[in-house]
Chains A and B, each alone.
Chain A
Amino acid sequence: MPEVIVNGQPRAADVLPHTLMVAWLRDGLGLTGTHIGCNTSQCGACNILLDGVPVKACTLLVAQAEGHEVTTIEGLAGADGQLHPMQEAFRAAHGLQCGFCTPGMVMAGIGIAMRHGPDVSAETVRHELEGNLCRCTGYQNIVAAIRAGARAMAAAGLIAETADAAL
C-alpha cells in the first residue's frame, strides 16, 4: 500500500485515487488543523509543507505525495510541546484573531523565511502572502509575526542568515 510520511510517521494511504490531501489529513488521519477555507486554491488555509515547501493541500492528490514528507500544523511543535519559532512568533505578536487562517499563514510564513531569510522586509512579506487570505486581522500583526518568526528561525539555526530573494 502507498505510504506518505506525515509529521515524521509513515502512514498507509488506503484511499481512492481522487482523494485530496486535505480530505485525507482531516477525515482520514484526524489532523483537523489543516483547514478548508475556499476549497478553490485561493485562500491558503489548507497550506501544508510538502518536503518542507508550502503547498495547498486542497489542490494536491494524496497520490501525488506518495513517498514524500508532509508536515501539518500539528507536526511543527517539538515532541516536548515547544512551539516552532514561527508559531511562537504568531502567539507573541498576536498574529491571529479567530485563528481560521492561522495554520496556513504559519506554513506560508515558514516558506517566506526559508526563501527570504531573517531580514525579510514587510513589503516582501505582504507580497508573498498573495496566496493567503485573512478575514479578521487586517494582516498587520501577521506581517509582524512572520518577520519576527523569520528572525527566530535564523537564531534557532533553522534557516541561513541570508537567503535568496528571487523565488
Chain B
Amino acid sequence: MQPFELIRPASVAEATAAFRGDAAFLAGGHTLIPAMKSGLRAVERLIDLGSVPGLAAIGVESDRLWIGAMARHAGVAGSPVVRSAIPGLARLAAGIGDPQVRARGTIGGSVANNDPAADYPAALLALDGIVETSRGTHAADDFFQGMFATALADGELITRIGLRLPDRFAYAKFPHPASRYALAGVAVARFADAVRVAVTGATTGVVRWQAAEAALAAGGPLPEALDHPDLAADLHADADYRAHLAGVMLRRAAAA
C-alpha cells in the first residue's frame, strides 16, 4: 500500500477542512483499504471518520428514520429502532457480506461508494432517501449517477441518511455465492401514496423500476423480467440471466 498521511479529525468541520489535494475519507475501510492494497486507489491524505463523535446515531424524526453515516452494518441490523421502524432494512443490513464485514462496513461508505451491486443504494432509492452531507442534502433519485458515481463533490462528507417510513418494505437479493454482493437485488417500498421499486446488481448502476412500480400500484401482473438498456453482464451472469433474476427477486420482495 502506498504510504499516506493520516488525519484524525474531531468533528465534521475538521474533517472537511482537512480534505485537500489527493485525499479520501476513511469509514469502515472495507472497500477503500482493499482498493488501496491492490493499487486501484492511492491517496496522499486519509481522513479517518472513526475519530469523529456522533456520526453513528440512529433515530426517528417525524416521518423519517435517520441513520448516521458511520453506523456499521451490524449496528443497523441489530438496532431496535431500525427493527421497529423498517424491519426489512435491518434484514438487508444483516445480509451484507459476512459478519466480519458487517462489524466494520458503514452505511455512509456504502452509499458514497455506490457499487453497482451494493445493497443499501437500492434501499435508499426505494425508501425515497435523503443523503445529508456537510454541504446540504441530495434526494436519492438525484444522488446515484451510475456505476461508482454519485452527486458528491470532492470533500463533501455524508453525515446521515434519511429514509421515509413506509407502510411496508422488503428487499430480496440473490447473492453472488462468493462475494455476497447482489447478482440481482430488488427493494420494494409501499407508501400510502406510492410504490417505489429499485434494482441493484442487475444494471450498471442502481435504478428505479417504473414498470414494476406501476404494476404494483395497479395490482396488475408483475413484469417477468427487467427491461433496461444498461443491464450488467460479466463472467458471473449474462444480461438475460440478470434481467430474469430481477423478476424473480421482484416477486419475492413483493410477496414478503
Q: Is the CB of A128 within 8 A of B90?
A: no
Interface 0/1 of B172-193, CB less than 8 Å to A? 0000001110000000000000
Chain A nearest CB: distance from B86 CB in Å? Answer: 14
Contacts of A166 in B (CB 8 A): 77-78, 83, 90-91, 94
Q: Is A11 an interface residue (CB 8 A)?
A: no
Q: How many pairs of A and B residues are in contact by the CB < 8 Å rule?
A: 91
Q: Is the CB of B3 within 8 A of A17?
A: yes
Given known pairs A18-B4, A167-B78, the reply for A64 and B50 (CB within 8 Å) is yes
- Interchain CA distance A79-B209 in the complex, whole Å: 59
Given known pairs A40-B34, A131-B100, the reply for A63 and B1 (CB within 8 Å) is no
Contact of A111 among B38, B46, B99 (CB under 8 A): B99
Chain B nearest CB: distance from A19 CB in Å? Answer: 9
Contacts of A128 in B (CB 8 A): 98-99
Contacts of A164 in B (CB 8 A): 78
- Interchain CA distance A41-B103 in the complex, whole Å: 13
Given known pairs A164-B78, A166-B78, the reply for A63 and B48 (CB within 8 Å) is yes
Residue of A nearest to B36 (CB): A18
- Interchain CA distance A55-B48 in the complex, whole Å: 18
Q: Is B97 an interface residue (CB 8 A)?
A: yes
Q: Is the CB of A61 within 8 A of B180?
A: no
From A41, A54, A111, A115, residue with most partner B Cβ within 10 Å: A41
Q: How many residues of A contact B (CB 8 A)?
A: 32
- Interchain CA distance A44-B179 in the complex, whole Å: 13
Given known pairs A54-B103, A59-B29, the reply for A130 and B3 (CB within 8 Å) is no
Q: Is B253 an interface residue (CB 8 A)?
A: no
B-to-A contact residues, CB < 8 Å: 1-6, 8, 26, 29-30, 33-34, 36-38, 46, 48, 50, 74, 77-78, 83, 90-91, 94, 97-104, 178-180
Q: 4 closest Cβ contacts across the A-B interface?
A: A131-B98, A17-B6, A130-B98, A167-B78
Supply 7 A–B pairs (Cβ within 8 Å), ascending by A: A17-B4, A44-B98, A53-B74, A55-B103, A56-B100, A56-B104, A63-B8
